[in-house]
Copies of this chain bind each other. A is one copy, B any other.
Amino acid sequence: MTYADFMNAPKRRDRAATRSALLDAARRRFAEHGFDGTGVREIAADAGVDPTLIFRYFGSKQDLFAEASKAEVPEGIGEPGTGPVGLADALVREVVLGTRPASGGEHPLMLMLRSAGRPEVRARLHEEVCDGYLADLARRFEGEDAALRAELVGALLLGMGVMRDLVDSPVLPGADPDRVRALVADMVAALERA
């Protein structure tokens, strides 16, 4: 079989493989250019398949986005025993410093932030952040305004992600991870004392 034969040879038909190729390509494209900046034809081209398969396998571009931006939620990150400092540290490692090759190197939350112009995306963002992360954080604070203090910790973490992925500030990627964690711990600890 010549090289030309190899190139022109029809690809093997494999539902699962094409589906996940599509999903991977979508994650990368959506993460980099956002929902509106990404066309179905581009996603399909990246995946090396026909654009119409998106609709066969996912229903619509929106449904594809929904599945691509679904977080495989770690569920119960940071031991329940630890205080807010411990949880914040775990989240820093996961959301901010963590690198995830699947989604083009970004956490699903950050992926959604690039498409925050769309109401449905903001709705999902609200749900995951408020009902998930913030509620978990608030539980570790004691006293009057636990919710407010949890909000500030959440803001700090989210803001770090925004700095890295949207503002593209070189500081965080260039910093010593342990130093970053230590400083964040100090800030959260200050909140615990307040």
Chain A residues with CB under 8 Å of chain B are 33-37, 113-118, 122, 125-126, 129-130, 134, 145, 147-152, 154-160, 162-163, 166-169, 171-172, 175, 179-180, 182-184, 186-187, 189-191, 193-194
Q: Which of A36, A159, A184 has the most CB of B within 10 A?
A: A159
Contact of A117 among B35, B122, B155, B183 (CB under 8 A): B35
The reply to whether A183 and B149 contact each other, CB–CB distance below 8 Å, is yes
Q: Which residues of B contact A171 (CB under 8 A)?
A: 134, 147-148, 150-151
Main secondary structure of the interface of A (DSSP, over half): helix
The reply to whether B129 and A169 contact each other, CB–CB distance below 8 Å, is yes
Q: Which residues of B contact A156 (CB under 8 A)?
A: 152, 155-156, 159, 187
Q: Which residues of B contact A122 (CB under 8 A)?
A: 166-168
A190 CA to B117 CA in the complex, in Å?
35
Contact of A169 among B34, B114, B151, B186 (CB under 8 A): B151
